[in-house]
Amino acid sequence: MNEPSRPRIHDRLQRVLAVACGLTIVAIIVTMWITEGLPSATRWPLVALLLLLVVWVFASVLRRQVAQLVERPLAESVAVAEAIASGESNRIVPRAETQEFDQLATSINRMTEQMLAATQSRMRVEKLATMGRIAAGISHEIGNPVAAIANYAHVLRMRTAQVPGTTEPIDALEREITRIDRIMRGLLDYARPRRLTPKPIVVDNIIEDVLRLLADQGLTRRFRISRELEAPDGVVYAERHDLEQVFVNLLLNAVDAMDREGDVVIRTRINEATAFGESIEKRRTDPAPQRWAHRPSKRALAWLARPESPRRFLQVVMADSGTGVSPEDEERIFEPFFSTKQPGKGTGLGLAIVASTIENLGGTIWVQRAREGGAAFVILLPLHGGGMRAVTSEHAAIPGSALSG
């Protein structure tokens, strides 16, 4: 149910003035009627005294209304603004009784959220950039010794082929070398800049191809996958391999989260920025009577608040019925080497690479609680200006080698 609109300040004051004027007229008429039989020397001073009393009461009521409708909410807004300027970014302006100050409170609260989101986004980008430089150096320094160890292991296998009991430890050694190599390759994919050759691509086609490939490999055999692809004109400017890697990582992450069986739902649609913001419910942390219009995520908030952000964009949601992501991990899950999986089941680089890829495409990604009970990864991507005719040649089968990493 929509909340009734609040009255404007001048409407409230006009009602107070109208009531006061009506009561004044009634008081004068009653006084004139009661004092009609009194002498003029007594009657007119009483009328004048009554008028002074009415003016005093009227001024007191008007002063109280001005203090309640203007001075108090203005002082609260100033106090919160000063607190925010001092670093208390969690302060919010309370709701006001009138429309003007209620809109001011909403605007200040939105501005605070946007500033906080932009600050955290900048800090995260700086941290990831530093992490990328470190990762590139580590990958280079470790890659060479690992390659040498792999060669020694191969030589050792050939020389001990006839020695009983050596096959199993050598297999374990090569398996761990392969795991280290996979981590190093993931670090390089995350850290090093690549020469990109992007093209207009229909995202719905990429999702269909990825689902077909994983089904052919039997990776999604035990899971129920629902498609709600409603963006046939959702064209983005990207590299095909990058988008394939994004959706493969997200699908495999959902499969791992559900373990044996479960549901995966993939939704796509083209959305408007204004409609997207209005469709979001109030924050769970807001007091019950408040209904702040807000963004669903700090990442989305910062992305939509940018001057260069598009008014129309592609929205992709990949939800599962798995274990979900705890609120305290919703931001950390995109950091390199952070993983909620059991040790040995993941490198913690998959979602970091996904987030880095989406941001390189000019979009944003976040995770929230899914209606299916698990995690829902939401992606927003700017649309490309090209049409369907420009991308018909891009719809091709995915080569197996493209997803080997």
What is the tens place of the pLDDT at every residue in 135-144? Answer: 777 776 787 8
pLDDT (0 to 100) of residue 357: 85
41 inside domain: yes
The Cα 239–Cα 125 span in angstroms is 22
CATH code of the domain covering residue 210: 3.30.565.10
346 and 306 in a common domain:
yes
310 and 166 in a common domain:
no
385 and 240 in a common domain:
yes
Q: What is the 3-state secondary structure (H, E, C) of 80-99?
A: HHHHHHCCCCCCCCCCCCCH
The Cα 309–Cα 322 span in angstroms is 32
CATH code of the domain covering residue 152: 1.10.287
Q: Are 281 and 244 in contact (CB under 8 A)?
A: no
Give percent of the chain with pLDDT exceeding 90.
9
Last residue of a domain, one of 31, 63, 91: 91
The Cα 180–Cα 134 span in angstroms is 17
Domain count, the chain: 3
Using CA atoms of 64, 69, 71, 72 in order, give the dihedral in degrees to the nearest 10.
100
257 and 334 in a common domain:
yes
pLDDT in tens, 28-39: 777 777 777 777
Query: Across residues 220-233, what is the average pLDDT?
Result: 87
1 inside domain: no
Using CA atoms of 327, 333, 335, 337 in order, give the dihedral in degrees to the nearest 10.
130
pLDDT (0 to 100) of residue 267: 92
370 and 295 in a common domain:
yes
105 inside domain: no
Residue 148 belongs to domain spanning: 110-191
Nearest CA among 220, 302, 298, 299 for reference residue 266: 220
123 and 39 in a common domain:
no
168 and 309 in a common domain:
no
177 and 312 in a common domain:
no
Nearest CA among 75, 63, 137, 131 for reference residue 104: 75
Phi, psi for residue 269 in degrees, rounded to 5: -165, 155
330 and 216 in a common domain:
yes
Residue 322 burial (10 A CB sphere; 0-12, 13-18, 19+): buried
